[in-house]
Amino acid sequence: MTINKNLLNNLLGKLGPGLLYAGAAVGVSHLVQSTRAGGMFGFDLLIAIIIIHLIKYPFFEFGPRYTAATGKNILHGYQKLGSWAVWIYLLMTFSTMLIVQAAVTVVTAGLFTSIAGLEALGGHEPQVVAAIISSLILIICFTLLTSGHYLLLDKLIKIIILILSITTIAAVIALLFDNPGYYTNRTKSFDITDATHLLFLATFLGWMPAPVEISVWHSAWSESKNANEGKVTSIEDALLDFRIGFIGTAFLAMCFLTLGALVMYGSGVEFAAGGAAFAKQLLDMYRQALGDWAYPIVAVAALTTMFSTTLTLLDAFPRTIGMSLELIGPKKFNHNSNGSTYLVWLLITIAGTLSLLFFFMPSMSDMVKLATIVAFVAAPVLATLNTCAMFSKSVPTPYRPGRPMLIWCILGLTALISCSVGYLWLI
């Protein structure tokens, strides 16, 4: 027992950035889009989850791999290519960060509102209630991040991901035994010749498992972990940490698709357009399908999913913006020794997010669509930057990936570019 406990503690000690990656990735793409995919097409898009993970794998791996090989985050690899590469990352971040943060925060607020029964809080309109609850969530996240930065975030995400995994698996198992109606109630299949279906697929895969820029966040979290521990994590430990998070997010995506297929598919219920409304609708359907006894399981899984995404994104944007500015203007910005840069961008992110939520809530669905389009189209650009950085001379030869990985990257880039061009043509 002692040996097993020591092995478990040793494994948990090695995990960190990989679970932060999982916390950021498992959010709207899983809870909303994966469940929606299952509800619309049953298990037809299950294979799509596997394929997109295989396509994107190298580009996500290069974030932690670069840090383990050089001791620095992959933005330094971008800088080696030229300042233009860092500017591309910054411009993409500035164009989407407020929209993405607002989208995940309002879904989190919607879940909390539904679970706590606060829909009619103070007689306000639902949009106002969502904005107020979102403000409280962002204040909580701000307090957590400014209190402990990486160390506290690392501990919180381990707990959240554990709760999420256990509750989601429990919900899937309960549905498999208690709700076999799917197998006798097929109503609609995915049609590759249907433009509407293809547009949904593009949106679904654009954020599956997450935008490619999450590889930069992962690299930044890895660098922070190294700084806190006073040593550079080995390639073996870094890849183990990453692969556990990556495979875990793929598994959870399939779990949420399964939940959607077994609960929603063939039910005849129309999906709500807004993320928060969809989340409330989803929880109500789970209650109806499984009974009140299972509702807390799904509620905890959904809420912890979205809160972890809100928290990790709120940390990632100011962290990587500060690091990028330091690389572009080292004399003006010193991210590592001056926490004020992080704090300023954290406050800017929160203020901008709240402005969107309070003044532009009716256009939230359009903003989410815009963010998804940008993420989908940007994927091959950032994937190319990651590949160039990883195979550059800034990475010691023994740590560079081999020829098979290069071929994998070329095939992946070809697929991503083709999908982006096809997506732009469809819209």
Helical (H) or strand (E) element with 66: helix 46-70
Q: What is the pLDDT of residue 229?
A: 80
pLDDT in the model for residue 137: 94
Structure-derived torsion over alpha carbons of residues 222, 226, 231, 235, reported in degrees to the nearest 10: 0
- The domains of the chain, with CATH numbers, are 22-426 (1.20.1740.10)
Q: Residue 345's pLDDT is what?
A: 92
Instruction: Please report, for residues 121, 122, 188, 303, 356, the alpha-carbon distance to residue 118 in angstroms, rounded to integers and kept in the order given.
Output: 5, 9, 35, 15, 21
The predicted structure's pLDDT at residue 2: 46
Asked if residue 335 lies in contact with residue 326, where contact means CB atoms within 8 angstroms, the answer is: yes
User: Which residue ranges in the chain fall short of pLDDT 50?
Assistant: 1-3, 5, 7-9, 11-12, 183, 335
Peptide bond into 362 cis (omega under 30): no
- Measured between alpha carbons, how far is 376 from 368 in angstroms, rounded to an integer? 12
Q: Give the model's pLDDT for residue 219.
A: 92
Give CA–CA dist 51/46, Å, rounded: 9
Give pLDDT, residue 3: 45
Q: CA–CA distance from 268 to each of 36, 172, 186, 191, 284 (Å)? A: 13, 21, 11, 19, 15
pTM, to two decimals: 0.85
Residue 269, pLDDT score: 67
Q: Among residues 361, 360, 364, 366, which one has the least CA distance to residue 127? A: 361
Tell me how far apart the alpha carbons of residues 36 and 301 are, in angstroms, rounded to a whole number: 16
pLDDT recorded at residue 160: 73
- Nearest Cα to Cα of residue 71 among 214, 231, 228, 213: 231
CA distance 394 to 185: 56
Scan for tokens 């709500």, then name that residue. 272
> Residue 129 carries which side chain, given as an amino acid letter?
V
Q: What is the pLDDT of residue 378?
A: 80
